[in-house]
Amino acid sequence: MFDLPDIYRVDVAVALKEFIPSNLKPSDKKRIKDSVKSVRLEYQIAGEEIPSVNNEKYCCQVIQFYDVEVENIKDANFLAATYQSLIKPLCVIHMHDTKDEVYSMAVKRISQMDDRQIVAEQTLITDKYVIGLPDSNRDRLMAYMDYSTLKNKTDKVQLYKEWFYKAYMLVNEKAYIHTDKLLDGNSWYESDWSARICQKYTALVASRGKLKTAVTNARRMKINKEIKSEIKALDNEKI
């Protein structure tokens, strides 16, 4: 997965009974039992070659990579939402049935209300890719997710955020005509830059979404003005 170094491979089967928390609603437990065929923890970035983070906002000792075989990929959104809120470490969840596959990611922080809990600040699930058939979108995703191409390995949180931000841009690249320039830029070494870019990009994606549902001309004009401003803000960023 993502051409991770073999030193991070663990390849451990996770028993399904351990993958279904006892505190879930009975209906959710049943849906998981009906949906999930197998779970493997394939990789885990641990150790301090890439420093861990332990502060008021993040507690990140590892990054985990799960492979989840499901009966039907239609349950991917439910499973992603469920497990990204339950699995405390930053993780990538690769879900697939016999035909299709998707990847789920989430940037998480420590809850301000209860430091034993986590809050997913941002989440994404990739487009659906057909297994076994050529797919240029999947190829592009895998190229940008390739571990050897990542630039910011300051610590585990920044490493994961680069994965997340790039995946988010690829999933939403129609929102901004110069997405390729951002993805290929040299400023990914700078954590502040990447966070700022993703914030601006997210705002642009949200505005384009609002435009699709706008009913009145006045509302559309207002949103179009916001979109032009957000595009200009991205254009003005040094890449």
Per-residue pLDDT band for 171 (boundaries 50, 70, 90) equals very high
Examine the pLDDT at 9 and tell me if it is beyond 90: yes
- Residue 102 pLDDT grade (very low, low, confident, very high; cuts 50, 70, 90): very high
Average pLDDT, the chain: 94
Average pLDDT over residues 212-220: 93
Token pair listed for 122: 């941002």
pLDDT at 51: 97
Confidence of residue 63 (pLDDT cuts 50, 70, 90): very high
∠ CA 139-145-146, rounded to 5°: 90
Can you spell out the DSSP letters for 44-108?
Answer: EE-SSSS--EESSS-EES-EEEEEEEES-GGGHHHHHHHHHHH--SEEEEEEE-SSEEEEEEEEE
Maximum Cα interatomic distance, the chain, rounded to a whole number of Å? 57
Q: What pTM was computed for the model? A: 0.93
Element (H, E) at 139: helix 136-145
The confidence score (pLDDT) of residue 221 equals 95
Question: Amino acid identity, residue 222?
Answer: K
Q: In the predicted model, what is the mean pLDDT of residues 146-164?
A: 96
Check: CB of residue 92 under 8 Å from CB of residue 163.
Answer: yes
Write down the pLDDT at residue 59: 92
CA end-to-end distance (rounded Å), the chain: 28
Residues 6+ apart with CB under 8 A from 183: 144, 166, 169, 170
Confidence category of residue 22, pLDDT binned at 50, 70, 90: confident
- Across residues 150-168, what is the average pLDDT? 96
**What is residue 163's predicted lDDT score, i.e. its pLDDT?**
97
Instruction: Give the per-residue pLDDT at 23.
Output: 83
Q: What is the DSSP letter of 147?
A: G
- Going by the DSSP 8-state scheme, the letter that residue 34 receives in this structure is H
In the numeric block, which tokens belong to residue 140?
A: 């592009």
Weakest-pLDDT range from 23-27, 68-72, 141-145: 23-27
Total H helices, total E strands in the chain: 7, 9
pLDDT tens track for 37-59: 999 999 999 999 999 999 999 99
**What percentage of residues in the chain have a pLDDT greater than 90?**
89
Number of residues assigned to the chain? 239
DSSP code, position 126: P
